[in-house]
Structure 1
Amino acid sequence: MKNYFLLLIVFLSITSCQKAKKELPDAQELLRKELHTIDWTKVDSYPTFEACDSLKDTEENKKCFFEKLFTELTLQLKNDSLLQTLPIKEIDTLNILVTVYPDAHIKFSLSKKDSLPLNTEIDRILQAKESTFKGIHPATKRGVPVKTQFVLPVFLK
């Protein structure tokens, strides 16, 4: 009886070890599956100003960023003496392409859909305004800072 019991234990231990052995998944296959599950068109957190950092809700933070950026840029462009001298009196709105880079600097340029007669002059004015926007934190995707772009309409009148 002892021999049968010992033989049963040996048999169970051999078969249980084979079931416990599992194949490791292929790293490339896991990476491919993970890359297909990521939505590359959306970010986890939007760019933000330091003044908006205290807001915990993502939507409130996004709203704060866009309101502050719109207000500051509109005010600066309305008060810009060089822009006032340009013959663009018939233009009431500028569509500005805003790019926030992962290293936290911002770039302004006219949206390509705007075909204004003085594009280069307006672009120079916008580039001069870039240095006044400090304290911006870039958007993040899975904890990594990423580049974001959006078009911001600025009303001049």
Structure 2
Amino acid sequence: MKHYYFLLLFILFTSCQYFEKQVPSEKELLQKELKAINWKEVDEYPSFVDCDKLDDKTERQQCFFNLLTQLIQEKLQVDTLSVLYPELDTIEVKVTVFPNSKMKFEPQFPKDSVAYDTIKIDSILHARLVDFPKVNPALKQGIPVKTQFILPVIIKIE
């Protein structure tokens, strides 16, 4: 029985080294976590309700971009944009999805875009690009975040 007491005391004295470890401060842990996060990418891309049914992340992303492009093209097909500017076949649209699920569309014109009235095209786009289905914002660490991307939209389909 004495041998068990010696063994217990031996284990007790040698285990004290585990209690002396330095615990990192809260600020150090926070800085370490912030450095580990990739701020240039989101965990979940924005998506429409129809695309949420897909399991694969890249398929959901592709579904969102395809559906958004299709909706923009449909809204611009009914307009006189292709009649007013026949040389304009593709517009790059900067799409911003806010954390509150709102979307903003801004046309991106080349620097030398004097061939057409950018203000008129911008007003046509703002008038037509409304009433989109509900979009779920992008997520980073489970928190909704703002995302921006440029989407090429083909105006004339021949």
User: Shorter-chain TM-score: which interval?
Assistant: 0.7 to 0.9
**What is residue 121 of structure 2 aligned with on the other side?**
122
**What is residue 71 of structure 1 aligned with on the other side?**
70
Q: What are structure 2's unaligned runs of at least 5 residues?
A: none
**1:25-64 per-position Cα deviation (integer Å, ceiling 9, x unaligned):** 1111111121111111111111100111111110110111
CA distance in 2, matches of 1:121, 1:11: 85
CA contact (8 A) 1:106 1:130 kept: no
Shift of 1:153: 0.7
Residues 8-157 of structure 1 aligned to structure 2 (within 5 Å): 13=12, 16-17=15-16, 19-81=18-80, 83=81, 87-111=84-108, 113=110, 115-116=112-113, 117-157=116-156
Aligned residues: 152
Question: Judging changes above 3 Å, is the alpha-carbon distance between structure 1 residues 156 and 130 closer, same or farther for their aligned structure 2 residues?
Answer: closer
CA distance in 2, matches of 1:36, 1:145: 20
CA contact (8 A) 1:70 1:154 kept: yes
Shift of 1:18: 5.2
Amino acid at match of 2:95: V
**1:68-125 per-position Cα deviation (integer Å, ceiling 9, x unaligned):** 10111011111124x356x322111101101111110110011254654322222222
CA distance in 1, matches of 2:111, 2:28: 44
Amino acid at match of 1:56: D
CA distance in 2, matches of 1:103, 1:115: 35
CA contact (8 A) 1:94 1:153 kept: yes
TM-score (norm 1): 0.82
Question: Judging changes above 3 Å, is the alpha-carbon distance between structure 1 residues 37 and 156 closer, same or farther for their aligned structure 2 residues?
Answer: same
CA distance in 2, matches of 1:114, 1:149: 20
Q: Percent identity?
A: 41
CA distance in 1, matches of 2:24, 2:119: 54
